[in-house]
Amino acid sequence: MSRNLELFERGKQSIPGGVNSPVRAFGSVGGTPRFVKKALGAHFWDADDKRYIDYIGSWGPAILGHAHPEVIAAVQQAAVGGLSFGAPTEAEIEIAEEIRKLLPSVELVRLVSSGTEATMSAIRLARGYTGRDAIIKFEGCYHGHSDSLLVKAGSGLLTFGNPSSGGVPADFTRHTLVLEYNNVEQLERTFAEIGNSIACVILEPIAGNMNLIKPSEAFVKALRALTEKHGSVLIYDEVMTGFRVGLGCAQGLHGIQPDLTTLGKVVGGGMPLAAFGGRADIMSCIAPLGNVYQAGTLSGNPVAVAAGLTTLRQIQRPGFYDELSASTRRLAMGLEAAARDAGVTMCADSVGGMFGLYFCEQVPASYAEVTASDRERFNRFFHAMLEEGVYLAPSAYEAGFVSIAHTDAIIDETIDAARRAFARV
């Protein structure tokens, strides 16, 4: 029996579904999850010592590749100095200064331990600042698992959402309106009707949780103009896109200054660290300055901060994002060409170190378009690639991630593997 299967069966005896986060269980693609033994650069090894080229990179954080020597050294050094204090440190100020330097929209920033905490806190803050309850999110965007965000659209334009998870009282999603990504007209109509009661709009400024979906320029501009006009807080959830699509994040690419920004993944360099920040007048409503409560025993954890700070310094090397974007584009275009040659309907897109593969004719622009793609074919392709030693996201509706450790040779090896895989799917 494969050791992965053995571990999966054993894990299920002690852990729900054998995993600590659902997508790891391969529920959408079927088969046996790979248990990671170790990882280095662009690769990881599973419990059977099989090597994979890794295209999820911990779902985003591993932008430098796994176990980058400088990050590991910083973590080791920090750990020796103590693991957690519950009192402030200088390194927390340093990482806050680094974030402010890279993101002009962020005047004050607070550290937390997960993306879920960052978005949950940003929304509480937006509500506290505006004194309003209603929030807008978009279908297909994921912002972590806090109650008021686990919501699916109601039946009419102005009907608020219903829980998309068990255990969430309908009362908790009563204030969340779910709109369609890239639908400018619907957004305008909504703001015309109830704009003055909207506390905030939260979005993935480039969506990565419904595969990769880019916003139109018109959508981005409308979001900024309408929230400004109606006194609503615009929250760019850059947990995934932050320092992933470019040094200035998605807001830099869009030329937009959001009111609040949430960060996670890359900012923590693979350790549990996330952040939310933005306009000083809004951020000043947070305790201890204001009456919006937010706290954390492990917030600003010294080992996590060391990993994050070292990562933020590494990505500022001149040419880093040109190189990363070129590698990612090489992969996306190479896979698209391999599919075309094999007569498989598939297209691809990329931005910075993030890519999308879509088993349909055209790059989708909304959740409805993404979910119309050929999921069964993706699943066959996923397993064929796994056999070839390439680990893609185990779901047709997730984006993929390339690191700076993915050399052209590794990308080309992936494309060769895909040529063989396409011939089989």
Beta-strand relationship, 134-138 and 260-263: unpaired
Q: Cα 425 to chain center, whole Å? A: 29
SS3 percent helix, strand, coil of the chain, rounded to 5, is 45, 15, 40
Tokens 């980058």 map to which residue? 68
Round the CA-based radius of gyration of the chain to a whole number and report it.
Answer: 21
Using the minimum distance from each CB to ligand PMP, give the nearer residue, 209 or 328. Answer: 209
Three-class HEC string of 215-247: CCHHHHHHHHHHHHHHCCEEEEEECCCCCCCCC
Distances (CA, A) of 295 to 63, 96, 127, 287: 28, 17, 17, 8
Residue 396, both tokens: 């047709």
Residue of the chain from 8, 26, 142, 401 that contacts ligand PMP (CB under 6 A): 142
Residue of the chain from 18, 144, 334, 364 that contacts ligand PMP (CB under 6 A): 144
Q: How far is the CB of 193 from ligand PMP (least distance, A)?
A: 27
Q: Are 168 and 162 in contact (CB under 8 A)?
A: no
Using the minimum distance from each CB to ligand PMP, give the nearer residue, 140 or 195. Answer: 140
Using the minimum distance from each CB to ligand PMP, give the nearer residue, 248 or 272. Answer: 272
Of residues 137, 236, 265, 367, which has the active-site annotation?
Answer: 265
| 240 is an interface residue for ligand PMP by CB under 6 A | yes
Residue of the chain from 54, 237, 369, 388 that contacts ligand PMP (CB under 6 A): 237
Q: How far is the CB of 188 from ligand PMP (least distance, A)?
A: 24
In the region spanning residues 102 to 141, those forming contacts with ligand PMP, defined by CB under 6 A, are 114-116, 119
Q: How far is the CB of 393 from ligand PMP (least distance, A)?
A: 11
Site residue total, ligand PMP (CB under 6 A): 16
Q: How far is the CB of 57 from ligand PMP (least distance, A)?
A: 12
Q: How far is the CB of 62 from ligand PMP (least distance, A)?
A: 14
Active site residue 416: no
Binding mask 42-81 for ligand PMP (x = CB under 6 A): -----------------x----------------------
With CA atoms as reference, report the closest residue to 268 among 117, 425, 399: 117
Using the minimum distance from each CB to ligand PMP, give the nearer residue, 207 or 417. Answer: 207
Using the minimum distance from each CB to ligand PMP, give the nearer residue, 41 or 115. Answer: 115
Residue 399, both tokens: 């984006």
Distance CA 172, CA 182 (A): 26
Of residues 142, 321, 358, 367, which has the active-site annotation?
Answer: 142
DSSP SS3 for 274: strand
For residue 126, give every residue at least 6 positions away whose Cβ sits within 8 Å of its Cβ, in sequence order, or none. Answer: 135, 199, 200, 232, 233, 235, 259, 260, 282
Of residues 54, 237, 259, 349, which has the active-site annotation?
Answer: 237
**Amino acid found at 9:** E
Using the minimum distance from each CB to ligand PMP, give the nearer residue, 239 or 365. Answer: 239
Active site residue 55: no
Using the minimum distance from each CB to ligand PMP, give the nearer residue, 7 or 399. Answer: 399
Residue nearest to ligand PMP (CB): 115
In the region spanning residues 169 to 208, those forming contacts with ligand PMP, defined by CB under 6 A, are 204, 208
Binding mask 269-288 for ligand PMP (x = CB under 6 A): -----x--------------
Positive or negative CA dihedral for 139, 140, 144, 150? positive
Active site residue 37: no
Residue of the chain from 126, 179, 210, 239 that contacts ligand PMP (CB under 6 A): 239
Residue 415, both tokens: 């494309």
Using the minimum distance from each CB to ligand PMP, give the nearer residue, 239 or 283. Answer: 239
Q: What is the maximum span of the chain, computed from C-alpha positions, in angstroms?
A: 62
| 209 is an interface residue for ligand PMP by CB under 6 A | yes
Distance CA 421, CA 338 (A): 10
Distance CA 237, CA 292 (A): 20
Bridge partners, 40 (sequence order): 43
Active-site residue list: 142, 237, 265
Contacts with ligand PMP, residue ranges (CB under 6 A): 59, 114-116, 119, 142-144, 204, 208-209, 237, 239-240, 264, 274
